[in-house]
Amino acid sequence: MKRGLLLFFFAFLLAGSASSQWSIGARFGGNSGVSLKHYSKTGGLNIEMIGARSFDEDLDGFALTLMGQKFGALSEGGKLGAFLGVGETMIFGDEFYLGISGALGFDWRIGRIGLQLDWMPTWIFINDSQFSPVNAAFTARWMFGGRIRE
C-alpha cells in the first residue's frame, strides 16, 4: 500500500513538464498540513495533492487528497479566480477510510505567492458512511517553475 502511494506521488510529480507552474505550501483549517498544486498551462484542470491531519473527530487521522480543480478567472490576467474541484480522499487512522471530496474556493496570486480559501466537504463510503462538512481552510503557497503571470 505504501509503495503504491509513493509511486502514485512520483507519477503525479512527473505529470507536468519542467516548465510547468507548481506551488507548495501550508494548509490551515479542518485538514491542516501540506499542499502541492500543479497549474494547467492551457486553463484546463489544476491538480492539487494535500497531505494533512484531519481534525474531524469522527475521521481522526492522516488524510491524503488528490483533486482536479477547474479554475475560472475573476480578474484580468487571472490573478484572482474561483474554482470547483472533485477528487478522492484517503484517511489513515485507527481505521482506513476512503471517500470523495468536493471543493469550492478562491485562488489569488501575488507574484510568487499563492493564497487560497476553500471549503472541501467529504463523503466517506469505504469502512463507514458519513458526510464531513467541517473542512474549510486557508492555504499559502510558494510558486515555482514556469513563468509567473504578472
For 50-87, the pLDDT digits (tens) are 999 988 887 889 999 999 999 999 998 888 999 999 99
pLDDT top residue among 103 and 8: 103
**43-54 per-position pLDDT tens digit:** 779 999 999 998
CATH number at residue 34: 2.40.160.20
Residue 6 lies in a domain: no
Residue 2 lies in a domain: no
Buried b (16+ CB within 10 A) or exposed e, 126-141: eeeeeebebbebebeb
Q: What is the mean pLDDT of the chain?
A: 86
Backbone angles phi, psi at 129, to 5 degrees: -140, 100
The residue length of the chain stands at 150
Q: Is 17 left (phi over 0), alpha (psi -120 to 50) or beta?
A: beta
pLDDT at residue 150, rounded to an integer: 46
Q: Is the dihedral of CA 96, 98, 103, 108 positive or negative?
A: positive
pLDDT at residue 5, rounded to an integer: 52
Flag whether the pTM goes above 0.85.
no
CB < 8 Å & 24+ apart, contacts of 3-6: 5/64
Q: What is the pLDDT confidence band of residue 18, given thresholds at 50, 70 and 90?
A: low
Residue 15 lies in a domain: no
Residue 7 lies in a domain: no
